[in-house]
C-alpha cells in the first residue's frame, strides 16, 4: 500500500519537533511489510526570512523538500491570510496543492490513500483533494480540531462534510 501522508503537523528543518507524533506513527507504520509512504506537509507561504518578521519568517526558511529517516517530505506553500484565513484555509490549501499532487500522479508517483492528520484545515483540504483525484482518505482527529474549531460555523460545516467523505476516521482517547 502506498500512503500519502498529508499534514501541516510534521517536523521540518526549522521546527524539528513539530508534529513529531505524526512522524513517529508513520515510521512505525512503515515497518509493516508492503507499506510505502511519502509526506506532503504544506507550509504557509511567507516571502521574508528576516528575524524582524518573527514567527512568520520561519515559514520562509523551511526547505521545499527534505528527507527524514528515509521518508521523502515535500513542503509546498499555500496562502494563509491572517485574521480571515481560518475559513479560507482548507480551500486555499487544496487549490495550492492540487497541482502538486496532480504532478506527482503524472510522474507515476501514485498513492492508494491520503492519510490526513488534523481535521481542520488539513482533513478538509485532503477531502477536497481526495474527491477531485478520486482517492480515499483517512482523517486523524487530534484535539482542538474537533473540540474547539467546530465552535465556528463555517469550519464546523466543512469538518462535517469531510467526515462524511472520509473512508475512515481515527481518534484518540485519554487513557
Q: Catalogue all structural domains in the chain, each as residue range(s) with its CATH number.
A: 2-170 (3.40.50.2000)
- According to the model, what pLDDT value does residue 110 have? 95
Return the bridge partners of 166, or none.
none
**Residue linked to cell 499534514:** 7
- According to the model, what pLDDT value does residue 49 have? 87
pTM of the model: 0.92
Percentage, residues of the chain above pLDDT 90: 77
Reference 15, options 52, 68, 53; nearest CA is 68
59 near 45, Cβ under 8 Å? Answer: yes
Own/partner pairs, 43-47, CB within 8 angstroms, 24+ separation: 43/8, 43/12, 43/75, 43/76, 43/77, 43/78, 44/77, 44/78, 44/79, 44/80, 45/77, 45/78, 45/79, 45/80
45 near 79, Cβ under 8 Å? Answer: yes
Average pLDDT, the chain: 92
d(CA 99, CA 117): 20
At 80, is the pLDDT very low, low, confident or very high (cuts 50, 70, 90)? confident
- Is 174 a residue whose pLDDT tops 70? no
- Is 147 a residue whose pLDDT tops 80? no
Reference 39, options 73, 11, 15, 7; nearest CA is 73
Greatest CA span in the chain, whole angstroms? 47
Extract the runs of DSSP E, i.e. beta strands, from the chain: 2-6, 36-40, 43-44, 65-68, 71-74, 77-78, 113-117, 137-140, 168-170
At 86, is the pLDDT very low, low, confident or very high (cuts 50, 70, 90)? confident
Q: Count Cβ atoms within 10 A of the Cβ of residue 124 and give its class: 0-12 exposed, 13-18 middle, 19 or more buried.
A: buried
- Is 149 a residue whose pLDDT tops 90? no
- The cell for 126 is 485532503
The mean per-residue pLDDT over the stretch 122-150 comes to 91
Amino acid at each position: 500500500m502506498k500512503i500519502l501522508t498529508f499534514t501541516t503537523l510534521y517536523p521540518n528543518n526549522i521546527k524539528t519537533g513539530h508534529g513529531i507524533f505524526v512522524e513517529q506513527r508513520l515510521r512505525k507504520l512503515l515497518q509493516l511489510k508492503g507499506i510505502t509512504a511519502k509526506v506532503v506537509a504544506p507550509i504557509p507561504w511567507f516571502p521574508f526570512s528576516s528575524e524582524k518578521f518573527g514567527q512568520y519568517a520561519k515559514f520562509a526558511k523551511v526547505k521545499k523538500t527534505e528527507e527524514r529517516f528515509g521518508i521523502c517530505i515535500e513542503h509546498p506553500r499555500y496562502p494563509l491570510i491572517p485574521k480571515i484565513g481560518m475559513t479560507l484555509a482548507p480551500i486555499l490549501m487544496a487549490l495550492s496543492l492540487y497541482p502538486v499532487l496532480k504532478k506527482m500522479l503524472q510522474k507515476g508517483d501514485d498513492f492508494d490513500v491520503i492519510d490526513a492528520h488534523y481535521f481542520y484545515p488539513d482533513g478538509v483540504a485532503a477531502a477536497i483533494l481526495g474527491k477531485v483525484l478520486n482517492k480515499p482518505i483517512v482523517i486523524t482527529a487530534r484535539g482542538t480540531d474537533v473540540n474547539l474549531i467546530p465552535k465556528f460555523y463555517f469550519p464546523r460545516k466543512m469538518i462535517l462534510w469531510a467526515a462524511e467523505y472520509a473512508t475512515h476516521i481515527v481518534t484518540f482517547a485519554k487513557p
